[in-house]
């Protein structure tokens, strides 16, 4: 008797789940005003990715080509597969104290799993997701980027 009740309970749950999915599909089918499918690559010039899109890790720069990275190395330590390398140097500042200066912030896109641990743990908010997503190359060395180079992405002003 219990197995019959379980059978009909599972059957009812399956039908209700199917009905919920069909409602969503029917909503998009009968509302022609909403365009859900992007016609990529035909619309490559007008393609707008959502703000939460994970394209690649970037280091935004301001209009003076300055970035917020201090070279602390927290992003490098939190990266689970070593796709970030930070090379720093110590130079004396105006007061004569030794100060850490970032030499290179190397990002290996070919090794990145897009886990966002580097961006979430950065104390100076120096890393962000970029919108570029086309990375088909014949040479994997082209997927290694130095993020602190001048001319990188402009940083949005804090609100």
Domain borders along the chain are 1-37, 57-146
Average pLDDT, the chain: 85
Mean pLDDT calculated for residue range 121-145: 90
Q: Which of 138, 82, 137 shows the shortest CA–CA distance to 113?
A: 82
Q: What is the pLDDT of residue 34?
A: 62
Q: Which of 35-44, 51-60, 103-112, 123-132 has the lowest mean pLDDT?
A: 35-44
Enumerate the H helices of the chain as residue ranges: 2-30, 74-78, 117-121
| Beta strand segments in the chain, E | 57-58, 84-92, 98-108, 128-129, 144-146
Query: In the chain, what's the furthest Cα-to-Cα distance?
Result: 85
- Tell which wins on pLDDT, 157 or 17: 17
The mean per-residue pLDDT over the stretch 8-28 comes to: 91
Exposure of 90 by Cβ count < 10 A (0-12 exposed, 13-18 middle, 19+ buried)?
exposed
Q: What is the pLDDT of residues 81-98, one digit of tens each?
A: 999 999 988 888 888 888
- Per-residue pLDDT band at 154 (split at 50, 70, 90): very low
Whole-number CA gyration radius for the chain: 24
**Domain 57-146: CATH class, spelled out:** alpha beta
Mean pLDDT across the stretch 139-145?
A: 90
Tokens of 16: 């209700």
- Spacing of C-alpha 150 from chain mean position: 21
């Amino acid at each position: 008797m219990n197995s019959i009740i379980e059978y009909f309970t599972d059957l009812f749950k399956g039908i209700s789940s199917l009905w919920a999915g069909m409602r969503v599909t029917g909503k998009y089918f009968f509302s022609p005003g909403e365009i859900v499918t992007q016609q990529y690559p035909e619309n490559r010039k007008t393609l707008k990715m959502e703000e939460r899109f994970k394209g690649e890790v970037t280091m935004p720069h301001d209009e003076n080509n300055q970035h917020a990275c201090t070279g602390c190395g927290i992003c490098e330590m939190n990266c689970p597969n070593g796709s970030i390398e930070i090379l720093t140097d110590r130079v004396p500042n105006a007061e004569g104290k030794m100060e850490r200066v970032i030499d290179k912030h190397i990002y290996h896109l070919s090794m990145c799993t897009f886990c966002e641990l580097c961006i979430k743990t950065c104390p100076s908010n120096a890393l962000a997701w970029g919108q570029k997503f086309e990375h088909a190359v014949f040479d994997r060395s082209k997927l290694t980027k130095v993020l602190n180079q001048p001319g990188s992405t402009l940083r949005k002003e804090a609100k």
